[in-house]
Amino acid sequence: MKPKLVLVWALAAILCNLVSAAPLVAQQATADPDAAHVTAAKELVSAMDANTQALASVEQLRQALIMRMQASEPAKVVGFTAYADKEMSPGSPRVKAFLADMENIAVQFYARNFTPEEMKTIAAFQQSLAGRKFNKLTPELGGLIASRMGQFQSDVIKAIEKGAAGQAEGK
């Protein structure tokens, strides 16, 4: 059971990376953004190349899942890999729906929190050489953070389980 729990925590850490690529919209009682805000937000999300970043995160997740299967059940890795490749390919219905959701979340977030002028300024940076390099390398940073977060979570889980087991024995 422990390996499954660690896998869940590792997946949660990887999903944190996905969330950081396109922040979730807080449920607020605010009016919907106007057309100018939405248009600027769509241009910003496009300039950020958010779909490429999200696809890179999906690929990192696919690789992590395959590595996990290789380590835990090597005899099943071939079938698992084929299914993961199918389900997580950029053109799969699941990934297409995910990308559309992520884009909508990001557009709504930026449209609600930035002025059109601010979004145009950010988009200009995103389209610059430095901005494109930033976008290209951000998923790698997310992967490094997710890996460290997964290790941290695993260590914490082990420490808590050990501590709880020790307390149960002391009673």
Q: How far apart are CA 88 and CA 51, in angstroms?
A: 14
Q: How far apart are CA 51 and CA 95, in angstroms?
A: 10
Specify whether the CB–CB gap between 111 and 37 falls below 8 A: yes
Is 35 domain-assigned? no
Q: How far apart are CA 110 and CA 2, in angstroms?
A: 39
Is 40 domain-assigned? no
Is 54 domain-assigned? yes
Is 37 domain-assigned? no
Instruction: Output the pLDDT for position 19.
Output: 52
CA distances from 115 to 24, 35, 66, 103, 109 (A): 18, 12, 42, 18, 11
Is 141 domain-assigned? yes
Instruction: Output the pLDDT for position 16.
Output: 52
Closest residue by Cα to residue 21 from 43, 52, 47, 42: 52
Q: Per-residue DSSP letters for 86-152?
A: HHTSTTSHHHHHHHHHHHHHHHHHHHHHS-HHHHHHHHHHHHSHHHHHHHHHHHHHHHHHHHHHHHH
Q: Which domain holds residue 160?
A: 2-21+45-170
Residues with pLDDT less than 70, the chain: 1-30, 171
Closest residue by Cα to residue 85 from 58, 104, 108, 109: 58
Is 17 domain-assigned? yes
Is 29 domain-assigned? no
Instruction: Output the pLDDT for position 45.
Output: 92
Q: How far apart are CA 169 and CA 106, in angstroms?
A: 49
Is 100 domain-assigned? yes
Tokens of 139: 């998923």
CB atoms within 10 A of CB 125: 13
Total domains in the fold of the chain: 1
Specify whether the CB–CB gap between 43 and 111 falls below 8 A: no
